[in-house]
């Protein structure tokens, strides 16, 4: 079920009207999981340097598994932060 929820967000991002940033996608996956009772996911933010430029990326990890992204892609980044997102009312 967790992978299906992440896949739903991934498909909406890939085929919807807008192309959200990786951070927006990660927040959406995190919130979707929590709204369905799957607590404990983390948004991770990493950077890498290539050709004198910095690149940043965000992804979600749940129980040690990368969701809505590719393992090979996130391994290219050095993790800077782990974040949880709380609902503001």
Q: Residue 76 corresponds to which tokens in the numbers above?
A: 């290219």
68 within some domain: yes
Residue 87 pLDDT exceeds 80: no
The rounded distance, in Å, linking the Cα atoms of 82 and 45 is: 7
Q: Which domain holds residue 56?
A: 2-83
The rounded distance, in Å, linking the Cα atoms of 84 and 87 is: 10
89 within some domain: no
Quickly tell me which residue has 């909406």 as its tokens. Answer: 12
What is the reported pLDDT for 35? 93
What is the reported pLDDT for 83? 74
33 within some domain: yes
The rounded distance, in Å, linking the Cα atoms of 2 and 20 is: 21
Domain count, the chain: 1
pTM: 0.83
Report which of 79, 14, 75, 73 is spatially closest to residue 42, judged by C-alpha positions.
79
């Amino acid at each position: 079920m967790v992978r299906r929820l992440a896949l739903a967000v991934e498909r909406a991002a890939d085929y919807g009207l807008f192309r959200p940033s990786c951070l927006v996608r990660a927040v959406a996956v995190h919130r979707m999981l929590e709204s369905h009772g799957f607590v404990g996911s983390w948004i991770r933010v990493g950077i890498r340097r290539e050709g004198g430029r910095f690149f940043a990326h965000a992804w979600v990890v749940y129980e040690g598994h990368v969701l809505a992204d590719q393992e090979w892609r996130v391994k290219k980044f050095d993790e800077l932060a782990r974040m949880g997102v709380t609902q503001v009312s």
